[in-house]
Structure 1
Amino acid sequence: MSEEKKTEELIEETTASSTEHDTDEYEKVCCICHRPESKTGKMIELMPNMCICPDCMQKSFDSMSKMDANTYQELMEMSKRFPNMQMINVSDLTNQVPQRQKVKKKSKAPALDLKSVPAPHKIKEKLDEYVIGQEYAKKVISVAVYNHYKRVATGTMDDIEIEKSNMLMIGPTGSGKTYLVKTLARLLDVPLAIADATSLTEAGYIGDDIESVVSKLLAAAGNDVQKAEQGIIFIDEIDKIAKKKNTNQRDVSGESVQQGMLKLLEGSEVEVPVGSNSKNAMVPLETVNTRNILFICGGAFPGLEDIIKERLTKQSSMGFQADLKDKYNDDPNLLEKVTIEDIRSFGMIPEFIGRLPIIFTLKGLDKDMLVKILKEPKNAILKQYQKLLALDEVKLEFEDGALEAIAEKALERKTGARALRAIIEEIMLDIMYEIPKDDNIGKVTITREYVEHKGGPKITLRGDMVIYG
């Protein structure tokens, strides 16, 4: 047998196996009503990649049978008036039909094994490798995730039903809210979707519908409904949907979104589009039950400190025992004193807060924490730049004084850990530009003077000669 024939047979076998795999894994969708075959019954295949369900086919036959002689006569007269009118070539439509107008079949999900879910202390140990500080927040989120999967695994064991414990995470900007959840997503082998509340609007208005957060989770689960129904959704910037104050207009991106999310948080069946954020005629829909989906909401809640201060100073504002108005101005742990009443005053409706029973705060970052963030995590910023220069066979080091100076500059910007990256980028710009020019440079040491623009870095040539830039 020649090599060409062997190659052709191999291609045919590969194509056949991939086709069988596709048909096993996906089910057909009606091109008219967009319901999957599991709901409509056996599909009628009109042409490749175009199917129609029995109901839609019957409706088509019914409409054709109702066509009377007058209607037929009108069509014939129209064809005479427009002699150049041509019939549609059905074979041309195959190029316009989506190649994957199918959804994944609903396979019976295997029972969740509790032994495969890491214990809370194991989850926290992994988080410690990437997230500096925030001990209380890491402990809360580790226990909540572990309990969530215990709830999913034991949901039908007896009459005692464990309720869902959704979480609300409050912390200043740059304190690590989103980073904490992203790290958790990498550690756990569960589908996790991160959505942004800023783009959510009430149904019927421009923006993302509330159900779009569930469609993102479905996409993260590979369109597997059973897997998505055991996932986690993190809704960031939740403070941006707070109720607007002193407005006479319809609040389509504030209170209305909170009201629309109530059933989602509590647990309900929602129809979400497969592979899209919005429902339209060309996208199949799937029903997802949010009863076993864990929701984590996070936000910076700017101005919440002022509400807490007002409540605390109102308790005693006259007499010898009165609190000074500026007593809590420099309190770094002010957010820890937050109550549900403070969050309600901020603009979150009571029904929404009630569906988030676990409320915890993250601390603002101080100088020591910022220094640790620079050098200790597995993917620390300094380690990233050391790796970049190592590719040029140059060693990069930072003096302790330089790290402290960077942390002090970051505190002045008041944007938390996000400021560290911006400052390092500024410091390293000239070094990253000049290093590739000279092959004799073997080591660069960043000094405090260089960070404060009072001197240059310490450059060591390959022959151990030291030059101060």
Structure 2
Amino acid sequence: MNMIPQEIVDYLDQHIIGQNNAKKTIALALRTRYRRLRLDPPLQDEIMPKNILMIGSTGVGKTEIARRLAKLMQLPFIKVEASKYTEVGFVGRDVESMVRDLVMTSYSMVKAEHNENNKEAIEHYIVDILTHKLHPEVPHFPTEEEKARHEISKSELSKKIRNGGMDDRLVEIELSTGGIEFNDTNMPPEIARVQESFSKMFSVIGKEENKKEVSVAEAKEILRQEASEKLLNHDQIKREALKRTEEGGIIFLDEIDKIAVNSRSDGRNDPSKEGVQRDLLPIVEGSIVSTKFGSIKTDHILFIAAGAFHLTKPSDLIPELQGRFPLRVELEPLNEDALYLILTKPKNSLLEQYKALLATEEMQLSFDEAAIRAMARYAQRANEKTEDIGARRLHTVVEKVLEDISFNAHLHKNSAVTVTEAMVNTILLPLVEDEDLARYIL
């Protein structure tokens, strides 16, 4: 998607409060990728992605910025936790599997687009098969008049099937026993391909014996998968998925501070941490990873790493890995004003979500301005007294305030309920004042 940096920042502002430096840095990184693709191929290869390291406490918006951007730009995007990976030789997920996960995400995106683009052909395939199954055969040696009546009747039935008029009718269809996809990205691609080949072979053998009577509505969904497999060019989808991953893929590597080795420790607590960093290095620098759809170069995949770095610091990462994240941005902790804005300003804010949920019970929920301020204040105080979990504290605070109202929503049917500052104080003040209660309840 061709968006200038300011448009990207404006979009993020609708959903995320503050953190302007982080928004600006990522918007520029994405725009640079767009600019690179407009250059001549020899120069394109020379321009490496400017990977980003985001530093900030939990709940300040690191993940949300990356997630919203990927959704906006319609780019292959995955979020992984660095702490889930292990050094080669240890039991666990190897770091190459994150690239395979990204390719799988890209493949799903491209396949969905091709399904949408071939929507009419897929629909025609489904209706044609169901019409053939539900409509009686033309009589032997038909007259011209019988042929004409048969075609008219068949056409009318097709229209009914297409418009949902036959959805409750039962029809017998053959169910495919295969089609199992082996998406374990930690499995060697060669083994995954062999297993899928066996799966498809056995599905063909058992298909004729696996018949079932289902409604036409259910049959449409079953046949849609079959139509997709038969009508789409899967080789083209694979090639496009690989290309899109190489040129636009984004891997959000969260908790990178968890694999940093504190300079004051000897590293004996977890000897694999530095090993994970060294395994990660060639992927971030640029290497070739084998996937079941083909080999992929990671040179131009954008890596956005994030971590709180409470017990460690970025300099505790191995120097080579530090050098592969040239853009550093520190996210600001959230104060009371920021928490208030998070409750009120974003599209589909937390309070708007609760209003919509309780509206399904025919109840009109509203909040006094002073009540919203009070919830932001108590969330901030709870963050100060216990662990600072940023905006995530608001979910607990608002849920606690609305607990009884939500539980008794059926009693407030066709009525309006306003949350006041007094209600907020009554519920939250005792919890926040008692540090033990705050630690376990808020």
Give me the TM-score of the superposition, normalised by structure 1.
Answer: 0.59
Give the drift of 1:438: 4.3
- Identify the residue that residue 292 of structure 1 maps to in structure 2: 300
Match of 1:199 among 72, 84, 88: 84
Distance 2:378 2:320 in 1: 42
- Identify the residue that residue 234 of structure 2 maps to in structure 1: none
Q: Say if 2:314 is the partner of 1:343.
A: yes
- AA matched with 1:450: M
- Identify the residue that residue 225 of structure 1 maps to in structure 2: 242
Distance 2:43 2:20 in 1: 35
Give the drift of 1:152: 3.6
Distance 2:422 2:303 in 1: 47
- Identify the residue that residue 376 of structure 1 maps to in structure 2: 345
Percent identity of the aligned residues? 38
* SS of residue matched to 2:8: helix
Q: Say if 2:193 is the partner of 1:176.
A: no
**For the Cα contact (< 8 Å) 1:134–1:363, is it kept in 2?**
yes
Q: Say if 2:368 is the partner of 1:392.
A: no
| Structure 2 counterparts to residues 12-161 of structure 1, below 5 A | 116-154=1-39, 156=41, 158=43, 161=46
- Identify the residue that residue 105 of structure 1 maps to in structure 2: none
* SS of residue matched to 1:229: helix
* SS of residue matched to 2:41: coil
Give the drift of 1:226: 1.5
**For the Cα contact (< 8 Å) 2:401–2:427, is it kept in 1?**
no
- Identify the residue that residue 237 of structure 1 maps to in structure 2: 255
Distance 2:104 2:416 in 1: 46
- Identify the residue that residue 329 of structure 1 maps to in structure 2: none
Distance 1:170 1:449 in 2: 38
* SS of residue matched to 2:426: coil
| Structure 2 counterparts to residues 355-434 of structure 1, below 5 A | 355-411=324-380, 412-413=382-383, 414-434=388-408
* SS of residue matched to 2:365: strand
Give the drift of 1:220: 0.8
- Structure showing greater radius of gyration is 1
Give me the TM-score of the superposition, normalised by structure 2.
Answer: 0.62
* SS of residue matched to 1:254: helix
Give the drift of 1:393: 2.1
* SS of residue matched to 1:452: helix
Q: What per-residue deviation string (whole Å, max 9, x for no partner) do you get for residues 257-307 of structure 1? A: 1111111111111124x4xxxxxxxxxx73110011111101111145xxx
- Identify the residue that residue 165 of structure 1 maps to in structure 2: 50
Distance 2:75 2:332 in 1: 28
Distance 1:204 1:376 in 2: 49
Kindly indicate which of the two structures has a greater share of residues assigned to helix. 2
Q: Say if 2:96 is the partner of 1:211.
A: yes
Q: Check 1:343–1:394 CA distance in 2 against 1; reply closer, same or farther (3 A cut).
A: same
Give the drift of 1:360: 0.6
- Identify the residue that residue 415 of structure 2 maps to in structure 1: 442
**For the Cα contact (< 8 Å) 2:78–2:105, is it kept in 1?**
yes
**For the Cα contact (< 8 Å) 1:229–1:293, is it kept in 2?**
yes
**For the Cα contact (< 8 Å) 2:87–2:275, is it kept in 1?**
yes
- Identify the residue that residue 431 of structure 2 maps to in structure 1: none
* SS of residue matched to 1:298: strand
Q: Check 1:380–1:454 CA distance in 2 against 1; reply closer, same or farther (3 A cut).
A: closer
- AA matched with 1:343: P
Distance 1:416 1:264 in 2: 32
Distance 2:405 2:71 in 1: 33
Give the drift of 1:159: 8.4
- AA matched with 2:282: K
Distance 1:380 1:159 in 2: 41
Distance 1:128 1:246 in 2: 41
Q: Check 1:449–1:254 CA distance in 2 against 1; reply closer, same or farther (3 A cut).
A: same
Distance 1:391 1:159 in 2: 53
- AA matched with 1:238: I
5+ unaligned residues in a row in structure 2: which ranges? 108-237, 429-442
Distance 2:37 2:271 in 1: 34
5+ unaligned residues in a row in structure 1: which ranges? 1-115, 275-284, 305-341, 456-469
* SS of residue matched to 2:290: strand
**For the Cα contact (< 8 Å) 1:155–1:161, is it kept in 2?**
no
Give the drift of 1:162: 1.9
Give the drift of 1:124: 0.9
* SS of residue matched to 2:251: strand
- Identify the residue that residue 264 of structure 1 maps to in structure 2: 283
Distance 1:454 1:263 in 2: 53
Greater RCO between the two (CA within 8 Å, min separation 6)? 2
Q: Check 1:417–1:250 CA distance in 2 against 1; reply closer, same or farther (3 A cut).
A: closer
**For the Cα contact (< 8 Å) 1:195–1:216, is it kept in 2?**
no
Give the drift of 1:249: 3.9
**For the Cα contact (< 8 Å) 1:200–1:253, is it kept in 2?**
no
